[in-house]
């Protein structure tokens, strides 16, 4: 029985070797690139300026290898560190926290734990901003746009460059 299963399984392996179609942009690879851009244009308070810049991902999404590539980059002399599903103790060390839609249920708990800490929180669901996240990524047709919650940025003592604010589809000055 097992041998049959194994054979069956390995016969599917050649599928893995197929070349990937590289021309289209996968949603989450693009989202990762957005995160990188947000990191570029964010200013953290003094107490969050040492050590590597940590980009944390809560949940699972098909980011491809974009995240790994981000890992090899530096920003303003700081190395980038990507943490997938950080442990609770690592949460507080994140500079950017992306909460995947699949983890919405945990979002509020996570945010309460991070309240007033200098973490740029990014979500991807309608409720993200109401939950208290700073940025929400959303698809408008085939384009990826984002909204910003200034109140959340203020609470986190984070400055986001006007370059980013200008590109946002909508900027809320108060908690929506």
Partner 1 sequence: MKLTLTSLCIALALFPLHKAHASAPATLLDMPLESLMDMQVTTASRFAQKASQAPSAVSIVTAEDIRTHGWQSLAEILGSLRGLYLSDDHNYTYVGVRGFSPPGDYNNRILLLINGHRVNDSVYDQALVAHEFQIDTALIERVEFVPGPGSALYGSNALFGVINVITRQGADLQGYELAGGLGSHGERQRRATLGHKQEDGTDLLMSISQVRGDGQDWTFPGSGTASGVDGEQSDRFFASLEKGAWNLNVSYVNRKKQVPTGAYGTDFNDPANATTDGMGFVDLQYRAAANEKLEWSARLYYDQSWFTGTYVYSGVHNRDEAEGARWGGEWQAVSTQFDRHHLVFGLSYREDFTQDQRNFDVAPYASYLDSAHSARKYGLYLQDEWALTSALTASLGVRQDHHSRAGDFLSPRLALLWQAGENTMLKAIYGTAYRAPNVYEMYYTTADALPNPDLQPEEITTYELIAEHLDPRGIRLSAGLFQYRICDLITQKSEAGMLIFRNEPHAQANGLDLEAERLWSNGRRARVSYTLENTEDGSGNRLVNAPRHLFKALFSTPLFDTRLRLGTELLAFSQRRSLSGGHTAGFGIVNMNLAAERLLPGLEISLAIRNLLDKPYAVPAGSEQSVDALPQTGRSLRLNLAYRF
Residues that bind partner 1 (CB under 8 A): 1-2, 5-6, 8-10, 12-13, 15-16, 18-30, 32-34, 36-37, 41, 60-66, 69-70, 73, 84-85, 87-92, 101-102, 105-106, 108-110, 112-115, 117, 139, 142-145, 163-164, 167
Question: Least distance (Å) from partner 1 to the CB of residue 37?
Answer: 4
Contact present, 54 and 83 (Cβ < 8 Å): yes
Query: Residue 74 or 173: which CB sits closer to partner 1?
Result: 74
CB of 108 to partner 1, least distance (A): 5
- The CA distances from residue 143 to 68, 69, 126, 162, in Å, are 24, 23, 16, 21
Question: Least Å distance between CB 34 and partner 1?
Answer: 6
Tokens of residue 143, six digits = 């384009």
Closer residue to partner 1 (CB): 27 or 151: 27
Query: What is the maximal distance between C-alpha atoms in the chain?
Result: 62
Distance between CA atoms of 32 and 59, rounded to whole angstroms? 14
Structural contact between residues 149 and 176, judged by C-beta atoms closer than 8 angstroms: yes
Minimum distance from residue 63 beta carbon to partner 1 (Å): 8
Residue closer to partner 1 (CB basis): 21 or 174: 21
Smallest distance, partner 1 to C-beta of residue 175, A? 10
Choose among 142, 46, 73, 25: nearest CA to 55: 73
Work out the burial of residue 127: count CB atoms within 10 Å of its CB; fewer than 13 is exposed, 13-18 middle, 19 or more buried: middle
Please say which residue, 102 or 159, places its beta carbon nearer to partner 1. 102
Residue among 10 and 46 whose Cβ is closer to partner 1? 10
């Amino acid at each position: 029985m097992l041998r049959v299963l194994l054979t069956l399984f390995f016969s599917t392996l050649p599928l893995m070797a197929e070349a990937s179609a590289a021309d289209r942009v996968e949603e989450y690879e693009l989202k990762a690139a957005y995160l990188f851009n947000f990191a570029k244009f964010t200013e953290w308070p003094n107490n969050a300026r040492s050590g590597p810049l940590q980009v944390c991902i809560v949940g699972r999404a098909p980011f491809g290898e974009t995240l790994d590539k981000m890992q090899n980059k530096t920003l303003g002399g700081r190395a980038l560190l990507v943490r997938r599903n950080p442990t609770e103790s690592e949460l507080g060390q994140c500079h950017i926290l992306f909460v995947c839609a699949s983890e919405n249920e945990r979002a509020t708990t996570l945010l309460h734990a991070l309240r007033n800490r200098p973490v740029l929180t990014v979500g991807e669901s309608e409720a993200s901003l109401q939950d208290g996240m700073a940025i929400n990524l959303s698809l408008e047709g085939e384009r990826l746009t984002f909204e910003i919650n200034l109140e959340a940025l203020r609470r986190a003592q984070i400055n986001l460059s006007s370059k980013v604010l200008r590109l946002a589809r909508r900027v809320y000055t108060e908690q929506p």
